[in-house]
Amino acid sequence: MPLTETGLKQPVKANEKDLLKINMPVIPDDQKVEVALKHLNELGEKFRSLMLTFESCVKCGACAENCHTYLGTRDPYNIPANRADLLRKVYKRYFTPEGKFFPGLIGAKDLELEDLEKMYSYFYQCNECRRCSLVCPFGLDTCEATMAGRQLLHWLGMVPKLHASVGAAMAKTGNHTGLPKAATVDTCEFLEEDIMDEIGVDIKIPVDKPADILYIPSSADFMLNPNTMTGAAKFFHYLGVNWTISSEIVEAGNFGLLFDQRATLRANCMRVIDEALKLGIKKVVWGECGHGWRAGKMYLPGMLDRPGRIPIVHIHDEVAYYIEKGALKLNPDSITRPVTLHDPCNFGRACNMCDTLRKVMNASVSNFVEMTPNRERNFCCGGGSAILFDDPEMYDLRIKFSAKKAEQVRATGVDKDGEGILCAPCSICKAQLYPMVEEHKLGVEVKGLIDLVGLSLYPVKHD
Amino acid sequence: MAFIEVSGQQIEVDEDGFLLNPDTWTEDVAKYFCKEEGIDELNDDHWKVIKYLRDYFFQFGIAPMVRKLCKDTGFSLKGIYELFPTGPAKGACKLAGLPKPTGCV
Amino acid sequence: MTYFILQILPYISVAVLTIGLLYRLGRWASGRIVHNITLTPAPTTQTGAVVDIAAEAILFKSLFKADKTLWTGSWIMHMSLFAILGGHVMGIGLLGLQFYYIGLTSAETSEYLSNLLGTSMGIVVLLGLLYLLYRRMAINEVKMISAPSDYLHLLMLIAIITAGNLMRFVPEWGIHYEPVRDYVAHLLTFSAVTPEMEVMHKPVFVIHLLLVQVLMMYLPFSKLLHIPGMFAHRWIINRPYVEPAPGMPGVTVGGSGHNVSGGHSASGEVQ
């Protein structure tokens, strides 16, 4: 990494071995530019949204003050229009008449290896939260430029080690953490005991059982967020439905959306459908994961290679539906601590879930405080698109990206007594907010929404 | 690929400094790592956690859920953080010679 | 030279504008909408989507919510520019008698109103443009992301407007509606412009027209493409939300049965 010496911050790249595990060749440095141009042309021609984003931006700068990465770092390249410009400049230079003849005038430039390194740095500083798209007068989706940029870099073998190893783990075990079946079963048994200890109810978490409902948990729930998994188990148990999880797809996320929207995205989508068909599933219920649900809801239908035709719903929608039907007796009085809600970007701006989140929240807790701005205008947690890097430089950036979030949480006042709950119904948000809460010294505990549903459904008795 | 030298042995590590192969782990490796993870000296409690992690890993192929680690070793989450300031996923796994956890953790 | 600008260039500039726009629109149309990237909350009906997009186009709704100062400047600039374009059609086409024709005023008042509107809008749009230019230079973020062409577009419009305003304010530089109408009629009927026509002897008018034609010619090759681009892109991200999303590749294969997971149509019993 020669350029980090010039101040360019980059996450650790996947090495040759890591790349081979996700079936990517290594492109030597002296061929990268040539290969990149070939791919860029294809990307521009394929995605209308990308071409429009390249050709219609007027550089009004309305996005600058609305991007938390820019607000947190004041780095000019973190202005969404400028970040997209890294790619736009090159695209215009080679693929538009104005860029071919007047590059200097319109700010187009030749592609150099250095630019690719810069793209690698800044496209992995973008959270793909799409707040810039919301505020853009033309609705230009800078996220599309980031996604295309990451796709391009992936094809050049420039992928963060984190994303590449997640891709490899997914292909091998069917989840991002590399959880083999034995560990899944063992963890489920442990959680069953845990539920028994906590509320004295015998609740099973079936694995690989032919059933009506396939629950797709986030694999992070098997590492860091056990209450989200037990919350879902309590919900299904309460309804008395015949449900299961599959050891082949203990993963609600889909990193394909974040670095490779072709092979990886498709393979992960197919995996869900394959498992559902194998277990005779009638309905797939998706767990708490923002980008994963965006992939499952918005991308999956167009990615399948053969008929799926199995309804796919999100667990939040399910809970809201049964609350409305009166089938769930929740005890909001059992959670009296002040709770505020972080709307995950992918739920708010990509999956239309804001109303649902509030329906579930209001039924589950008694002291809910909104943060401002909220719903689709909410700011990202700073970890979006899984830039959960932990080498010191990138970690420092993550914490800066979450400055706006910390400010929002503080303004709600829920952290005053150190008793607050910051509800973040998304695994990436949780993984980002755990350290963020420590670093910004907020008196809140980070929890998922289904955690709260579980607690409210089966209150823990205090003697 | 990077190597670290522990008691005369060359041991291969990845870009994040985690052992590439958990089998190459020795107690000296843990001692070697503890400085960079903010631990002055390894005591019995540290060894208890490290041994537990390694046992679990060789049985199940992955590090255990954090809550299970706490319950089975008898430490609270806070206690684990006191032992391993960089946390169970990063610090403890590194000292135990396990691969770095991936995914949303 | 004047002859070239008035007689030959108009056909070239209209041709370049038309062919250029068709080329750009054709390129856009050849790109696919590969994924469903609708921004939510989204409308669920075509009417809802059209209303949303209209609110964006006419009121700049998103910008209003995001940046009030910029909204004020740019909305005023765009709306007065639009009014001026309309005014040109009315003034030249109907000789400023539009209010008289619809029975609102007398012929004299109509022409007076037409002149008054044209003059005042000319000043308003100039103020709007000057604000945008000031903003581009004064706000650091905007300055950092600006290319030379971003300033040039503004300067070009300012030049066009200034020439227009000069014709309004300096009577001997100005020109009446009628000779211009005759000139346009000549162009439309492909008949030759003659040396004694008044338009040939009004340098400011010739400059005004020249600049407009230059603008028309580079419009399809500049960021001024945001005019059609806005509608094209909003149609991707502000379309009605229905499941499965129509028009996505392969969606009929994977999509059926997915429709129960819609934002508001969520859930059901186990089937």
Q: Kindly list the residues from chain A whose CB atom is less than 8 angstroms away from the CB atom of residue C259.
A: 311
What does the buried/exposed string (b/e) look like for C74-107 if buried means 16 or more CB atoms within 10 Å of the residue's CB?
bbbbbbbbebbeebbebbbebbbbbbbeeeebee
Which amino acid type is present at position A54?
A: F
- Please state the φ and ψ torsions of residue C85, each to the nearest 5 degrees: -60, -45
Query: Which domain, by its residues, includes A117?
Result: 25-158
Upper half-sphere CA count for residue A443 (Cβ side, 13 Å): 12
The pLDDT-based confidence of A213 (bands split at 50, 70, 90) is very high
User: Could you write out the three-class secondary structure of A372-394?
Assistant: CCCHHHCCCCCCHHHCCCCCHHH
- Please report the pLDDT score of residue A5 as a whole number: 47
Rounded distance, CA A437 to CA A41, Å? 43
Which amino acid type is present at position A460?
A: V
Task: Say yes or no: A318 and A175 in one domain.
Answer: yes
Q: What sign does the CA torsion over A344, A349, A350, A355 have? A: positive
Which amino acid type is present at position B22?
A: P
Task: Answer whether residue C43 is part of any domain.
Answer: no
- Please tell me if residue C56 touches chain A, with a CB cutoff of 8 Å: yes
Residue of B nearest to A191 (CA): B68
Among B34, B70, B93, B104, the one annotated catalytic: B104
Q: Is a pLDDT exceeding 70 seen at residue C254?
A: no
pLDDT tens digits, residue range A382-396?
999 999 998 889 999
Q: What is the CATH number of domain B2-96?
A: 1.10.10.370
Domain count, chain C: 1
Q: Kindly list the residues from chain A whose CB atom is less than 8 angstroms away from the CB atom of residue B102.
A: 162, 165-166, 169, 176-178
Round the average pLDDT of chain C to a whole number and report it. 90
pLDDT tens digits, residue range C173-231?
999 999 999 999 999 999 999 999 999 999 999 999 999 999 999 999 999 999 999 99
C147 with A352: Cβ contact below 8 A: no
- Please report the pLDDT score of residue C251 as a whole number: 63
Task: Answer whether residue C64 is part of any domain.
Answer: yes
Distances from the Cα of A122 to the Cα of A28, A70, A398, C146, angstroms: 21, 11, 13, 19
What does the buried/exposed string (b/e) look like for B23-38 if buried means 16 or more CB atoms within 10 Å of the residue's CB?
eebeeebbebbbeebe
Residue A463 CA to its chain's centroid (Å): 40
Shortest Cα distance, chain B CAs vs residue A435, angstroms: 10
pLDDT tens digits, residue range C51-81?
999 999 999 999 999 999 999 999 999 999 9
Question: Which of A18, A175, A177, A257 is the best substitution to test chain B (most B C-beta atoms within 10 A)?
Answer: A177
Shortest Cα distance, chain A CAs vs residue B81, angstroms: 12
Q: In terms of C-beta density within 10 A (0-12 exposed, 13-18 middle, 19 or more buried), how is residue A382 classed?
A: buried
- Identify whether the C-beta of residue A59 lies closer than 8 Å to the C-beta of residue A392: no
Task: Answer whether residue A17 is part of any domain.
Answer: no
CA dihedral C193, C197, C203, C205 (to 10 degrees): -80
Q: Kindly list the residues from chain C whose CB atom is less than 8 angstroms away from the CB atom of residue A242.
A: 270
Domain count, chain A: 3
Q: Give the pair of three-digit tokens for residue A253.
A: 């996320």
- Please report the pLDDT score of residue B75 as a whole number: 94
- Please tell me if residue C257 touches chain A, with a CB cutoff of 8 Å: yes
Rounded distance, CA A152 to CA C53, Å? 32
Backbone region of residue A192 per phi and psi (left: phi > 0; alpha: psi in -120 to 50; beta: other values):
alpha
B103 with A12: Cβ contact below 8 A: no
B68 with A178: Cβ contact below 8 A: no
Q: Give the pair of three-digit tokens for residue A206.
A: 């079936």
Range name among A279-283, A303-307, A394-398, C5-9 with the lowest pLDDT average: A303-307
The pLDDT-based confidence of C243 (bands split at 50, 70, 90) is confident
pLDDT tens digits, residue range A415-440?
999 999 999 999 999 999 999 999 99
Q: Is a pLDDT exceeding 60 seen at residue A188?
A: yes
- Please state the φ and ψ torsions of residue A238, each to the nearest 5 degrees: -60, -40
Task: Answer whether residue A268 is part of any domain.
Answer: yes
Rounded distance, CA A374 to CA C198, Å? 62
Q: Which residue has the higher pLDDT, A5 or C147?
A: C147
B104 included as an active-site residue: yes
Q: Kindly list the residues from chain A whose CB atom is less than 8 angstroms away from the CB atom of residue B62.
A: 177-180, 183
Q: DSSP assignment of A164-226, as one string?
A: HHHHHHHHHHSSTT---HHHHHHHHHHHHHHHHHHH-------BS---SEEEE--GGGGTT-H
Subunits in contact with chain B (3 or more CB pairs closer than 8 Å): A
Shortest Cα distance, chain A CAs vs residue B25, angstroms: 20
Residue of B nearest to A218 (CA): B104
Task: Say yes or no: A45 and A104 in one domain.
Answer: yes
- Please tell me if residue A176 touches chain B, with a CB cutoff of 8 Å: yes
Whose CA is closest to A290, among A362, A361, A345? Answer: A345
Task: Answer whether residue C7 is part of any domain.
Answer: no
Task: Answer whether residue C255 is part of any domain.
Answer: no
Rounded distance, CA C151 to CA C147, Å? 7
The pLDDT-based confidence of A6 (bands split at 50, 70, 90) is low
Residue of B nearest to A18 (CA): B14
A388 with B65: Cβ contact below 8 A: no
Rounded distance, CA B17 to CA C115, Å? 77
List B50's β-bridge partners, or say none. Answer: none
Task: Say yes or no: A187 and A314 in one domain.
Answer: yes
Task: Answer whether residue C253 is part of any domain.
Answer: no
Distances from the Cα of C107 to the Cα of A107, A442, B64, C103, angstroms: 51, 72, 88, 9
Whose CA is closest to C98, among C122, C74, C114? Answer: C114
Rounded distance, CA A390 to CA B100, Å? 11
Q: Is a pLDDT exceeding 60 seen at residue A86?
A: yes
What residues of chain A, 351 to 380, have a C-beta less than 8 Å from chain C? 351-356, 376-377
- Identify whether the C-beta of residue A131 lies closer than 8 Å to the C-beta of residue A68: yes
* pTM confidence score: 0.92
Stretch A62-69: mean pLDDT, rounded? Answer: 95
- Please tell me if residue C72 touches chain A, with a CB cutoff of 8 Å: no
- Identify whether the C-beta of residue A405 lies closer than 8 Å to the C-beta of residue A342: yes
- Please tell me if residue A448 touches chain B, with a CB cutoff of 8 Å: no
Percent of chain A with pLDDT over 90: 91
- Please tell me if residue C269 touches chain A, with a CB cutoff of 8 Å: no
Task: Answer whether residue A11 is part of any domain.
Answer: no
- Please report the pLDDT score of residue B7 as a whole number: 85
**CATH number for the domain harbouring residue A282:** 1.20.1050
Question: Which of A47, A138, A355 is the best substitution to test chain C (most C C-beta atoms within 10 A)?
Answer: A138
Task: Say yes or no: A171 and A248 in one domain.
Answer: yes
CB pairs < 8 Å spanning A and B: 84
| Helix, strand or coil, per DSSP, at residue C5 | helix
pLDDT tens digits, residue range C29-55?
999 898 999 999 999 899 999 999 999
Q: Is a pLDDT exceeding 90 seen at residue A306?
A: no
**CATH number for the domain harbouring residue C234:** 1.20.950.20
List A214's β-bridge partners, or say none. Answer: A244, A284
Question: Which of B36, B104, B105 is the best substitution to test chain A (most A C-beta atoms within 10 A)?
Answer: B104
Shortest Cα distance, chain A CAs vs residue C85, angstroms: 21
Backbone region of residue A368 per phi and psi (left: phi > 0; alpha: psi in -120 to 50; beta: other values):
beta
User: Could you write out the three-class secondary structure of C217-267?
Assistant: HHHHHCHHHHHHHHHHHHHHHCCCCCCCCCCCCCHHHHCCCHHHHCCCCCC
Are there at least 3 beta-carbon pairs closer than 8 Å between A and B?
A: yes
Q: What sign does the CA torsion over C20, C22, C28, C32 have? A: negative
A60 with C74: Cβ contact below 8 A: yes
- Please tell me if residue C74 touches chain A, with a CB cutoff of 8 Å: yes
Q: In terms of C-beta density within 10 A (0-12 exposed, 13-18 middle, 19 or more buried), how is residue B86 classed?
A: middle
Range list of H helices, B1-105: 27-34, 44-60, 66-73, 77-83, 87, 93-95
- Please tell me if residue B64 touches chain A, with a CB cutoff of 8 Å: yes
Rounded distance, CA A43 to CA A88, Å? 12
- Identify whether the C-beta of residue A244 lies closer than 8 Å to the C-beta of residue A215: yes
B102 with A165: Cβ contact below 8 A: yes
Q: Give the pair of three-digit tokens for residue A185.
A: 């079963």
Task: Answer whether residue C8 is part of any domain.
Answer: no
Rounded distance, CA A375 to CA A370, Å? 9
C142 with A60: Cβ contact below 8 A: yes
- Please report the pLDDT score of residue B89 as a whole number: 83
What residues of chain A, 210 to 249, have a C-beta less than 8 Å from chain C? 212-213, 241-242
B67 with A194: Cβ contact below 8 A: yes
Rounded distance, CA A337 to CA C217, Å? 64
What residues of chain A, 344 to 403, have a C-beta less than 8 Å from chain B? 386, 388, 390-391
Could you say which of A178, A224, A428 has the minimum Cβ distance to residue B66?
A224
Residue of A nearest to C261 (CA): A313
- Identify whether the C-beta of residue C129 lies closer than 8 Å to the C-beta of residue C158: yes
Task: Say yes or no: A213 and A312 in one domain.
Answer: yes
Task: Say yes or no: A170 and A283 in one domain.
Answer: yes
Task: Answer whether residue A3 is part of any domain.
Answer: no
The pLDDT-based confidence of C252 (bands split at 50, 70, 90) is low
Stretch A214-222: mean pLDDT, rounded? Answer: 95
Task: Answer whether residue A12 is part of any domain.
Answer: no
Stretch B72-82: mean pLDDT, rounded? Answer: 93
Rounded distance, CA B38 to CA C178, Å? 87
Among residues A97, A127, A158, the one where a domain terminates is A158
Task: Say yes or no: A123 and A175 in one domain.
Answer: no
Whose CA is closest to A53, among A19, A16, A83, A15? Answer: A83
Which amino acid type is present at position C73?
A: G
Among residues A138, A158, A178, the one where a domain terminates is A158
Q: Is a pLDDT exceeding 90 seen at residue A407?
A: yes
**Domain residue spans of chain B:** 2-96
Task: Say yes or no: A445 and A335 in one domain.
Answer: yes
Task: Say yes or no: A140 and A267 in one domain.
Answer: no
pLDDT tens digits, residue range A9-49?
999 999 999 999 999 988 999 999 999 999 999 998 889 99
Q: Which residue has the higher pLDDT, B34 or C131?
A: C131
- Work out the number of other CB atoms within 10 angstroms of the CB of residue C140: 12
- Please report the pLDDT score of residue A126 as a whole number: 96
Shortest Cα distance, chain B CAs vs residue A18, angstroms: 10
Upper half-sphere CA count for residue A233 (Cβ side, 13 Å): 24
- Please report the pLDDT score of residue A462 as a whole number: 64
Length of chain C: 271
What residues of chain A, 32 to 91, have a C-beta less than 8 Å from chain B? none
Distances from the Cα of B104 to the Cα of A165, A177, A225, A290, B11, angstroms: 12, 8, 10, 11, 28
Task: Say yes or no: A424 and A450 in one domain.
Answer: yes
Q: Which residue has the higher pLDDT, A34 or A306?
A: A34
Among residues A323, A343, A365, the one where a domain terminates is A323
Query: Which domain, by its residues, includes C62?
Result: 52-238
Percent of chain A with pLDDT over 70: 98
Q: Is a pLDDT exceeding 70 seen at residue C270?
A: no
Upper half-sphere CA count for residue A321 (Cβ side, 13 Å): 20
Could you say which of A161, A289, A427 has the minimum Cβ distance to residue B15?
A161
Task: Answer whether residue C194 is part of any domain.
Answer: yes
- Identify whether the C-beta of residue A286 lies closer than 8 Å to the C-beta of residue A313: yes
Task: Answer whether residue C262 is part of any domain.
Answer: no
Q: What sign does the CA torsion over A357, A452, C261, A143 have? A: positive
Round the average pLDDT of chain A to a whole number and report it. 93
Residue of C nearest to A56 (CA): C226
Task: Say yes or no: A151 and A207 in one domain.
Answer: no
User: Could you write out the three-class secondary structure of C189-204?
Assistant: CCCCCCCCCHHHHCHH
Question: Which of A223, A430, A433 is the best substitution to test chain B (most B C-beta atoms within 10 A)?
Answer: A223
Are there at least 3 beta-carbon pairs closer than 8 Å between B and C?
A: no
Task: Say yes or no: A366 and A310 in one domain.
Answer: no
Q: Which residue has the higher pLDDT, A342 or A303?
A: A342
